A and B are shown apart, each in its own frame.
Chain A
Amino acid sequence: MAELTAAASVPPGRAQPQAQGSALPRLDVATVRKDFPILERRVNGHRLVYLDSASSSQKPRAVLDAMEHYYETTHANVHRGVYTIAEEATALFEEARAKVARFIGAPDVSEVVFAKNVTEAINLVAQTWGRRHLGQGDAVLLTHMEHHANIVPWHMLSAERGFEVRWLPITDDGHLILDDLDRLLEGVKLVSLTAISNVLGTANPVRRVADAAHAAGALVLADAAQHVPHVRTRVADMACDFLGFTGHKMLGPTGIGCLWARRSLLEEMPPFLGGGEMIRDVRLDGFEPTEVPWKFEAGTPPIAEAVGLGAAVDYLEALGMDAVRAHEIELTGYAMRVLRERHGDAIQIHGPADPRDRGGVISFCYKDIHPHDLSQVLDQHGVCVRASHHCAKPLMRRLGVAATARASVYVYNDESDIDVLAEALAEADALLG
């Protein structure tokens, strides 16, 4: 019930218990929507129906204000000046780190490394831990549903270090096939998998994979880009060793994300980028890196972005992550039901059938209308969906499609957004079906 307590500290109506029958907290979407200035905008004569949060979420006024306030009152470089505003800026920057650490249940705040995004977080692990530990005869196990950000860094390093990149297959309805996991883990030093697929929505059993991986002597990296923004995240429960996520998908600004890793791992890993901030000493003949997490944060970091991310964490905690998750399951279930009822066999929705097994992501094909054309027609109704291969070309090939359209929901979406989508699809059908 911690969420309800947290909710009590925010303006009334933000989050409240369901009227009866269930103790689950519930989002008041109408109130939430008022916090997002962009939702007042009209596009092509229609209200904005934003269904692309899996790509990047919108920002509440609290985040925008926090960043503006920081620039107007406090900005200075961090970890350098001894004057007042520099100390305040440093305090705000480190406070943001502490908020993020709490948000994901990190045992130690120094385990949170700020990175640009998940892509950079995974590249960091590949280029530091991976370069030191992976070589010929070793393997990295990925899954068929990974984002390119969790494929290409391993291909790049494998070309150089000669280890094998191995693949965990999936079923037609988008679940990992784990029957053969123990055999596939032979020789594997790292399993790197998405916690929630950005295409299929599948919520993967990270804990189960991690337990098997650890038993086989491998470490586990969870790509949590679609998990941290949507599902209460506790690194200890996931039992992963590395976890990456990004701010702009969780109501925060672009340009800031995080790598979490166990402190012992971070300490043992060599630095990533070299430069200022990450050193203890620099001599003519070498350097000493500083301690974690700053060892991995060369150069002036995105300070205002960290402040904005901290404000986004505050906002999500005030809503209550259990309420966020419950809302998404409900709305995803509604969308799957309405789209199927309205469009029948014309629409093919990829991924697990049960909304409890998935995040708020619905990838679909509509007859043989190309997703680009679908998205173009939807845009005329103010509806934003992603139309592409979603940076997951191996998965597209596995599904036997070149691309899909993808609608994804977040805290500011409600049933009316789904209804507009369903209607607009009918127009696309009339024009191109």
Chain B
Amino acid sequence: MPGLEDLYREIILDHYRNPRNRGELPSPPARRVEGFNPLCGDEIVVYLLIEAGKVTDLRIAGQGCSISQSSASMMSSAVKGKTVEEAHALIRAFKSMMSIHEARLDQTAAEEAAGAEPEVKLGDLEALQGVVKFPVRIKCATLSWNTLAQALDGSA
């Protein structure tokens, strides 16, 4: 039986209490995309600034639970400064970690994700792998990533 410590890792709580890159960017030039989790009413807004094929800035607004907020915060730190292609690879790696079937939890989710995108280092984001043990919360963790994917597509 998974315990709360699997979900609420210290680094997650840190990002929840001190969210990085919180705020807004003037839009345009930044692209603004909203994401909704209809289950709980969480709303997230991603502001994405892309210059010369690179994510030069992004900001996160909106509100949600500790998992959606910390995931968004970690995402913002991980994606800032990356090329659009690197950001896409990170999204694939993260979503792969989040879609690991429960039966395969003997292998860590992060290892699986690394298998899917071998060049990608998830780093702190691996702290979120415990979320897959709580299937209803996976949507909380992926909300900001899906929203980022939309923003990247729209500005490509």
A306 within 8 A of B: no
Assess A370 versus B39: contact at CB under 8 Å? Given A376-B7, A376-B134, A380-B3.
no
Q: Are B4 and A402 in contact (CB-based, < 8 A)?
A: no
Which of A372, A377, A402, A432 has the most chain B CB atoms closer than 10 A to its own CB?
A372
Q: Are B42 and A380 in contact (CB-based, < 8 A)?
A: no
Assess A432 versus B8: contact at CB under 8 Å? Given A44-B1, A45-B1, A402-B63.
yes
Which of B3, B4, B16, B40 interacts with A372 by CB under 8 Å?
B40
CA gap between A376 and B42 in the complex, in Å: 16
CA gap between A44 and B134 in the complex, in Å: 13
* Chain B proximity of A373: nearest CB distance (Å): 5
Interface residues of A in 353-380 (CB under 8 A from B): 369-373, 376-377, 380
CA gap between A321 and B140 in the complex, in Å: 41
Q: Are A370 and B1 in contact (CB-based, < 8 A)?
A: no
Residue ID in chain B nearest A393 by CB atoms: B41
Q: Are B3 and A373 in contact (CB-based, < 8 A)?
A: no
| Interface majority SS (helix, strand, loop, mixed), chain B | mixed
CA gap between A216 and B33 in the complex, in Å: 47
Which of B1, B4, B8, B140 has the most chain A CB atoms closer than 10 A to its own CB?
B4
Measured between beta carbons, the chain B residues less than 8 angstroms from A402 are: 40-43, 63-64
Q: Are A370 and B66 in contact (CB-based, < 8 A)?
A: yes
Q: Are B1 and A372 in contact (CB-based, < 8 A)?
A: no
B149 within 8 A of A: no
CA gap between A117 and B42 in the complex, in Å: 27
CA gap between A432 and B10 in the complex, in Å: 11
Q: Are B41 and A403 in contact (CB-based, < 8 A)?
A: yes
Band of interface residues on A: 10 to 19
Q: Are B41 and A396 in contact (CB-based, < 8 A)?
A: yes
CA gap between A431 and B4 in the complex, in Å: 10
What does the 1/0 interface line of B70-107 toward A look like (CB < 8 Å)?
00000000000000000000000000000000000000
CA gap between A44 and B65 in the complex, in Å: 22
* Chain B proximity of A380: nearest CB distance (Å): 6
* Chain B proximity of A313: nearest CB distance (Å): 33
CA gap between A380 and B13 in the complex, in Å: 18
Measured between beta carbons, the chain A residues less than 8 angstroms from B42 are: 370, 402-403
B67 within 8 A of A: yes
Band of interface residues on B: 20 to 34
Interface residues of B in 101-156 (CB under 8 A from A): 134, 137, 140
CA gap between A110 and B132 in the complex, in Å: 51
Measured between beta carbons, the chain B residues less than 8 angstroms from A380 are: 3-4
A388 within 8 A of B: yes
Measured between beta carbons, the chain A residues less than 8 angstroms from B43 are: 402
Interface residues of B in 44-70 (CB under 8 A from A): 63-67
Residue ID in chain A nearest B17 by CB atoms: A432
* Chain A proximity of B125: nearest CB distance (Å): 19
* Chain A proximity of B12: nearest CB distance (Å): 10
A147 within 8 A of B: no
A406 within 8 A of B: no
Residue ID in chain A nearest B66 by CB atoms: A373
Q: Are A431 and B8 in contact (CB-based, < 8 A)?
A: yes
CA gap between A292 and B67 in the complex, in Å: 52
CA gap between A371 and B40 in the complex, in Å: 9
What does the 1/0 interface line of A81-93 toward B look like (CB < 8 Å)?
0000000000000
What does the 1/0 interface line of B1-42 toward A look like (CB < 8 Å)?
101100110000100100000000000000000000001111
Which of A369, A377, A396, A402 has the most chain B CB atoms closer than 10 A to its own CB?
A402
What does the 1/0 interface line of A21-48 toward B look like (CB < 8 Å)?
0000000000000000000000011000
Assess A372 versus B8: contact at CB under 8 Å? Given A389-B41, A393-B41, A396-B41.
no
Interface residues of A in 174-188 (CB under 8 A from B): none
* Chain B proximity of A171: nearest CB distance (Å): 23
Assess A387 versus B134: contact at CB under 8 Å? Given A44-B1, A380-B3.
no
* Chain B proximity of A127: nearest CB distance (Å): 24
Q: Are B8 and A403 in contact (CB-based, < 8 A)?
A: no
Measured between beta carbons, the chain A residues less than 8 angstroms from B63 are: 402
CA gap between A371 and B64 in the complex, in Å: 9
Q: Are B1 and A376 in contact (CB-based, < 8 A)?
A: no
Measured between beta carbons, the chain B residues less than 8 angstroms from A389 are: 40-41
Closest 8 CB pairs of A and B: A370-B65, A372-B65, A389-B41, A402-B41, A403-B41, A373-B66, A373-B65, A403-B40
Question: Could you give 24 example pairs across A and B, Cβ below 8 Å?
Answer: A44-B1, A45-B1, A370-B40, A372-B67, A372-B137, A373-B65, A373-B66, A376-B4, A377-B4, A380-B3, A388-B41, A389-B40, A389-B41, A393-B41, A396-B41, A402-B43, A402-B63, A402-B64, A403-B41, A431-B8, A431-B13, A432-B8, A432-B13, A432-B16
Q: Using A373-B65, A388-B40, A402-B43 as known contacts, list a sample of 9 further A-B pairs with CB atoms less than 8 Å apart, ordered by residue number in A.
A: A369-B66, A370-B65, A389-B40, A396-B41, A403-B40, A431-B8, A432-B13, A432-B16, A432-B66
